[in-house]
């Protein structure tokens, strides 16, 4: 375990500079594809008219344009049937000009998001959440990695936080963040290779694990669940889970943790920017693989 350090102001770990470094790399790779005659395309599917989801799609389309991607979009009505959504996904699967597909989550309650995810061709799974992609991650094989876990690994590496050989505790076991993050950070790689423990609601005294960790990553989606008494002085704290109340973002990490942690992601602008950046890194990788299988 690393040396304990008492602090009153934790070093911030912003995501924006990490994302900009990723975008610079993606821009070069997109330019190379376009020079070779391929325009990488990230297609999006939106069901319904949820304002937040529509805003996310607009943001992603603008970023796609900035990076040189094509961004075809399918907008289905809120009362679209399972067959309608399947047909939309099938049309994008069959289009050789589309290299990556994103179905914006959440979708209306009468539709099954997991079923929609399964419908996506794994070769176009930009979110890295298809069971095939998660299986490749578990086996240590190349493939799209879930965006938030990949962004957290990149964030720690960018800010020079040692991970290899360290005690990392992931609070949360969800399939989009906690579980794939644990697999990712345990892999043998310079920016990973950690001793990873996953704790969750089924662990009665989960804080005894987080209090000994060098790095604590909150990935639950329960506002304020990680408090100062749950971490040791000088630990690195990453807030990966959030919940929204309207437009208000409620992070897993209580702001008072800044007085104890040695380094911490900001309440806004931490993992969010890196997640979006990794979406486009996955997209360009899928385009490259489609072009040069």
pLDDT in tens, 130-151: 999 999 999 999 999 999 999 9
Per-residue confidence (pLDDT) for residue 8, from 0 to 100: 54
Cite the active site residues.
60, 104, 127
In which band, very low, low, confident or very high, does the pLDDT at 3 lie, cut at 50, 70 and 90?
very low
Give the rounded distance of the alpha carbon of 141 from its chain centre: 18
| pTM (predicted TM-score) | 0.93
| Spatial separation of the C-alpha atoms in residues 23 and 17, rounded to whole Å | 10
What are all long-range contacts of 126-131, with beta carbons under 8 Å and residues at least 24 apart? 126/42, 126/100, 126/101, 126/102, 126/279, 126/282, 126/283, 126/286, 127/102, 127/279, 127/282, 128/180, 128/282, 129/175, 129/176
How confident is the model at residue 52, as a pLDDT? 84
pLDDT at 23 exceeding the cut of 80? yes
- The secondary structure of residue 160, as a DSSP letter, is T
- Checking if the pLDDT of 292 tops 90, the result is no
Encoding tokens for residue 155? 């964030």
Residue 287's pLDDT is 98
> Who wins on pLDDT, 241 or 153?
153
Q: What single DSSP character describes residue 268?
A: S
């Amino acid at each position: 375990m690393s040396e304990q350090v008492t602090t009153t102001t934790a070093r911030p770990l912003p995501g924006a500079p990490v994302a900009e470094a990723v975008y610079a790399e993606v821009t070069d790779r997109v330019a190379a594809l376009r020079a070779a005659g391929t325009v990488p395309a990230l297609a999006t599917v939106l069901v319904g008219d949820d304002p937040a989801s529509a805003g996310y799609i607009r943001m992603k389309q603008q970023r796609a344009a900035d990076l040189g991607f094509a961004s075809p979009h399918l907008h289905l009505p809120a009362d679209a049937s399972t067959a309608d959504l399947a047909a939309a996904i099938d049309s994008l699967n069959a289009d050789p000009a589309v290299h990556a597909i994103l179905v914006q989550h959440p979708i209306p309650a009468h539709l099954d998001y997991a079923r929609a995810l399964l419908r996506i061709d794994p070769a176009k799974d930009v979110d890295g959440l298809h069971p095939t992609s998660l299986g490749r991650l578990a086996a240590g094989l190349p493939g799209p990695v879930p965006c938030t876990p990949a962004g957290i690994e990149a964030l720690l590496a960018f800010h020079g936080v040692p991970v290899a050989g360290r005690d990392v505790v992931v609070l949360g076991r969800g399939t989009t963040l906690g579980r794939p993050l644990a697999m990712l950070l345990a892999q043998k790689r310079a920016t990973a290779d950690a001793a990873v423990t996953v704790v969750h609601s089924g662990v009665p005294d989960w804080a005894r694990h987080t209090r000994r960790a060098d790095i604590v990553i909150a990935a639950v989606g329960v506002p304020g669940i990680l408090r100062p008494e749950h971490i040791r002085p000088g630990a690195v704290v990453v807030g990966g889970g959030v919940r929204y109340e309207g437009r208000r973002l409620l992070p897993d990490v209580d702001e008072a943790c800044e007085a104890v942690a040695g380094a911490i992601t900001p309440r806004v602008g931490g993992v969010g920017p890196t997640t979006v950046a990794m979406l486009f890194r996955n997209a360009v990788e899928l385009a490259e693989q489609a072009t040069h299988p």
